[in-house]
Each structure stands twice: as structure tokens, then as C-alpha cells.
Amino acid sequence: MLAIVLALLTVGSCSGSGDGLIVTDARIGMPTGPNAALYLTVENHSATPDALEGADTTVANSIEIHETIAGDDGTMAMRLVEAPMEVSAEETLVFQPGGFHLMLVDVDRLDVGEEVEVTLTWQNAGEITFKAVVVEPQDVGEDQSHDG
Amino acid sequence: MEPDVPIIRRALLLILAGSLALAGCGGGAGSTEDLQGVVIDPPQPKPEFTLTDTAGNPYDFVAETEGKLTLLYFGYLNCPDICPVHLAQIAETFDRIPEVARDAEVVFVSVDPERDSSEEIRAFLDNFDERFVGLTGTLEELETAQTAAGVPVAVFVGDGEDYTVNHAAQVFAFAPDGMNHSVYPFGTRQSQWNNDLQVLADLGG
């Protein structure tokens, strides 16, 4: 129980905001290869659209926006999404496993529980800096963590 | 009065399902009806292929996994979004039921021999469980293995260093009886793994 409360507190601290944009639930699956995936939610509470121009962190060479696309035949493919990536007025962008993710290219070794500073640069809102927590690879999903 | 009949029938079915579930928990002979993954009906035999393990030795899939609960997955190391999730979930289930893990074989086939060296595959798998087997081969050998397993052959998209791999994303599960009873697409829950690996282990050899 204590662990759950602590986890919730940790997630709560991993958010940042600027000018109507709120970033929450930022988490990185513990790197197991050359790259790692960063997941988060961006809520645009403003009446104007915005666009993600880039992302930066000191623990990786670069950050790319990727989308995983499921095929009809059980395959999955990864596609590079060219910035800027638009978020409409009042829209919520969800980066989650099997959908969009921010790929940390040539990432450093990171341990579970570590907090990593990430900056997202937006056309209107400018820079939003927040901390993403490193989680076990199986815990990156929104609802597929320890449920049994 | 008519509507009562289906309700009674449904209740009876529920009771029946409940007793089956209980029977499954008692150990001994399991039943594929308890599986929560995507059930393959009728069950399919193991694909026949030989690749090279991370120690450089030939690995005959059918011979090496005989009589074992076996999980087969095709992936690649530069895949941060979905590949680690499957393997980490399986490792977590193995931590919970070590008696199942002891007689199980997890086989990860890298479909990207250009980038994934044996050493890198080993280091990748050690993040999850040092017992996991990593296989590689030439593009031709890998194509043969994927075709034998009935998955679309992985496709490389893009060029230079930044290509990505379009590959099968489901894990194939073989019970100790040597048959493929179920597959696990991306999005499988931890609780489904916990349930199904026990059920599959009980499906006899």
C-alpha cells in the first residue's frame, strides 16, 4: 500500500506546465538497448493550438517523435513523426505504448526510480521543463502494470 | 416466462465456467479453456528452424525446447516501445512462479542481424533474465525461421542508421506438449501472463 502511495506521489511530481500546456505522467521505460521510450500526456488548456518543435535531455543524444503502427497481420512498425507535431486547442496528446512515444536515442544507462530532466520546446508556449521517472519496462503502460 | 430460460441457462454456464476455472487452479492437468491469451484452435506444431545462439552455437528450436513450456518472440534491439514490455512481463511472471520458470525456455529471435550482434543481444536479454535465449542468423536463415513460424518476414523501412523494422509483435506460447496453444499480442496484461504461463505449464508433456 505504501508503495502505491509513493508511486502516486512520484508520478504527481513528474509534471510541468507553461502557458496553458500541462505535461503529466512523464515516464521512461528503463533502457534495455540503445534507445528508450518516454511517455507522457500533454493537455492544452489554451484556446489556441500549439506545436511541439523539439525535445531535449542530457541523458540521450537526441529525442525523436515516433509512432508505433499496428498492421492487420500482427506486425508493428515504427514511424518517425516530423516535428512540429500539432496539438489543437483544448486537445490532449497522449504518448503511450503502442502509439506515440518520444524516443531517447543513444540513451545513457538509467536505473529504475531515477528522475530525468526533459525539456519540450513549443511554438507558442516556449520551453517546458519537467522530470520523467524511470520505471520498469513492464510498467510503462497506463493500466497494464501490477494488476494481478 | 420465456425470458427466464436464457437467464437460467446463463447461470448454469457461469457455474460451469466457475468450476472449470477452479479445476484449473488445482494443478495437474490444465485446460486451454482457462487461457486468457488469443487461443489457437486447433493448436499448431512447433516451427522447425535452426539459428545461432548468443554463445555462437547452433540452436535447433524443436530439439532444444522439447518438453518445455516455450515462448517464441521475434524482435530487435532498437525497438524501445514494445519489445521490452513483453520480455519484462514474462520475467516478472517467472519471478512469481519460479517452479514454472525452471522448466521453461524463452526464445528471442533478433530479426535485425545488421545491427544486433550476439554480444548486444545477450546484454539486452540479461536486463530481463539471464536464462532467456537469444538467437540470430543470416537474413536468409531468419527469413526461413519467420516463414516457418507463420509470421510475416520483418521488413526494414528507411535507410542509413535510422531504419526501423516492421516485425511481428506477438509472442507464441508452446505448452510442454509441443503445441502452440495461444499467442500474446502487444497490450497483454501482466495478470494474463501470470495466469496463462501456469495454465500452459500444466498442459502436460
Per residue in B84-98, pLDDT tens?
Answer: 999 999 999 999 999
Q: Do A77 and B164 touch (CB under 8 A)?
A: yes
Q: Do A36 and B128 touch (CB under 8 A)?
A: no
Q: What is the pLDDT of residue B158?
A: 78
Evaluate whether ipTM surpasses 0.85.
Answer: no
Burial B119-152 (b: 16+ CB within 10 A, else e): ebbbebbebbbeebbbbbbeeebbebbbeebebe
A115 contacts A79 by C-beta, under 8 angstroms: no
Query: Given CA atoms B13, B17, B18, B23 in this order, what sign does their dihedral have?
Result: positive
B171 contacts B86 by C-beta, under 8 angstroms: yes
Give the nearest partner residue to B80 out of A37, A147, A148, using CB atoms: A37
Q: Do B165 and A138 touch (CB under 8 A)?
A: no
Q: Do A32 and B128 touch (CB under 8 A)?
A: yes
Q: Do A70 and B151 touch (CB under 8 A)?
A: no
**Residues near B149 by Cβ (< 8 Å), separated by ≥ 6?**
B47, B49, B72, B74, B168, B172
A134 contacts A28 by C-beta, under 8 angstroms: yes
- Looking up cell 499448431 gives B44
For testing the chain A interface, which of B36, B78, B79, B81 should be mutated: the one with the most A CBs within 10 Å? Answer: B81
pLDDT of A70 strictly over 50: yes
A80 contacts A62 by C-beta, under 8 angstroms: no
What pLDDT, in 10s, does the model give residues B51-60?
A: 999 999 999 9
Report the predicted TM-score, pTM, of the whole model to 2 decimal places. Answer: 0.81
Residue B130 CA to residue A111 CA, distance in Å, equals 18
Radius of gyration of chain A (CA): 15
- The alpha carbon of residue B120 is apart from the nearest alpha carbon of chain A, in Å, by 8
Q: Give me the residues of chain B with pLDDT under 50, please.
A: 1-6, 8, 12-28
For testing the chain A interface, which of B34, B73, B85 should be mutated: the one with the most A CBs within 10 Å? Answer: B85
Give the nearest partner residue to B187 out of A98, A137, A147, using CB atoms: A98
The DSSP element (H or E) to which B15 belongs, if any, is helix B4-25
B158: contact with A, CB 8 A cutoff: yes
What pLDDT, in 10s, does the model give residues A97-133?
A: 989 999 999 999 999 999 999 999 999 999 999 999 9
| Residue A19 confidence class, pLDDT cut points 50, 70, 90 | low
Q: Do B194 and A104 touch (CB under 8 A)?
A: no
Q: Which three cell numbers stand for residue B51?
A: 539459428
Alpha-carbon separation of residue B201 from B16, B19, B45, B181 (angstroms): 23, 20, 16, 11
B187: contact with A, CB 8 A cutoff: yes
Residue A103 CA to residue A36 CA, distance in Å, equals 6
Enumerate the residues of chain B whose CB falls inside 8 A of the CB of residue A68. Answer: 81-82
- The alpha carbon of residue A67 is apart from the nearest alpha carbon of chain B, in Å, by 9
A71: contact with B, CB 8 A cutoff: yes
Burial A91-127 (b: 16+ CB within 10 A, else e): eebebbbbebbbbbbebeebeeebbbebebbbeebee
